[in-house]
């Protein structure tokens, strides 16, 4: 797939076979993450956790469900891998790069997943829940000052990608000349 085909074929995948992507596939996805643009080139402000531990993922889903009062809640859709993108978090409104950097890393990984025929879905909700769970946070063993910002669920899927037609009026757009 070329770049445009990837962009127009990408969609959120929310059903997974449970089978783990290969090591080579995960390496390629990580390389796509490392190729992402990063504000001021501050690569050392970012951290990627590749969570493959099914027990951890199940406890994260349970914690998210408990916070929302939902039983049998599966916000990770049975994906066997969760890439968690964390950043140092300055906490001052003028420094707006942290979340943006993490989102861009996640989108690079999502487009790489499409090109490999793997399923992927951006996950922000469960990361909000994770940030309220000290035990789960400590198990990530992040460097001091790093905060999980977002994640990407990844895995094999039986769903197939096809280029989609996107409505031109989907978002308000104004051209100033």
Ligand X SMILES: Cc1cc2nc3c(=O)[nH]c(=O)nc-3n(C[C@H](O)[C@H](O)[C@H](O)COP(=O)(O)O)c2cc1C
- Applying CB under 6 A, does 11 fall inside the site for ligand X? yes
- DSSP for 115-127? HHT-EEEEE-HHH
Q: Is the dihedral of CA 124, 78, 22, 1 positive or negative?
A: negative
Which 124-153 positions form the footprint of ligand X (CB under 6 A)? 124-125
Query: Least distance from C-beta 24 to ligand X, angstroms?
Result: 25
**Could you tell me which stretch among 29-37, 62-70, 123-131, 155-163 binds ligand X (CB under 6 A)?**
123-131
* Residues whose CB is less than 8 angstroms from the CB of residue 111 and which lie 6 or more positions away in sequence, other chains included: 6, 7, 10, 32
Closest CA to 70 of 119, 126, 27: 126
Query: Least distance from C-beta 133 to ligand X, angstroms?
Result: 16
- Applying CB under 6 A, does 74 fall inside the site for ligand X? no
Rounded CA separation 55/53 (Å): 6
DSSP category for residue 36: S
Nearer to ligand X, 12 or 96 (CB): 12
- Applying CB under 6 A, does 78 fall inside the site for ligand X? no
**Could you tell me which stretch among 17-25, 63-71, 117-125, 138-146 binds ligand X (CB under 6 A)?**
117-125
**Could you tell me which stretch among 6-14, 17-25, 41-49, 86-94 binds ligand X (CB under 6 A)?**
6-14
Burial grade of 157 (CB within 10 A; 0-12, 13-18, 19 or more): buried
Contacts to ligand X by CB under 6 A: 11-12, 14, 121-125
């Amino acid at each position: 797939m070329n770049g445009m085909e990837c962009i127009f074929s990408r969609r959120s995948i929310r059903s997974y076979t449970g089978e783990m992507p290969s090591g080579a596939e995960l390496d390629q996805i990580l390389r796509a993450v490392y190729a992402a643009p990063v504000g001021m080139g501050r690569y050392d402000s970012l951290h990627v956790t590749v969570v493959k531990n099914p027990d951890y993922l199940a406890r994260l889903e349970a914690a998210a469900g408990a916070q929302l009062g939902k039983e049998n809640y599966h916000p990770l859709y049975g994906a066997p891998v969760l890439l968690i993108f964390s950043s140092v978090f300055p906490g001052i409104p003028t420094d707006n790069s942290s979340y943006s950097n993490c989102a861009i890393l996640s989108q690079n990984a999502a487009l790489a997943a499409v090109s490999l025929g793997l399923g992927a879905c951006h996950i922000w909700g469960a990361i909000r829940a994770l940030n309220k769970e000290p035990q789960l946070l400590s198990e990530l063993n992040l460097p001091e000052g790093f905060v999980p910002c977002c994640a990407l669920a990844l895995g094999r899927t039986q769903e197939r990608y096809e280029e989609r037609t996107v409505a031109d009026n989907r978002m308000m757009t104004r051209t100033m000349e």
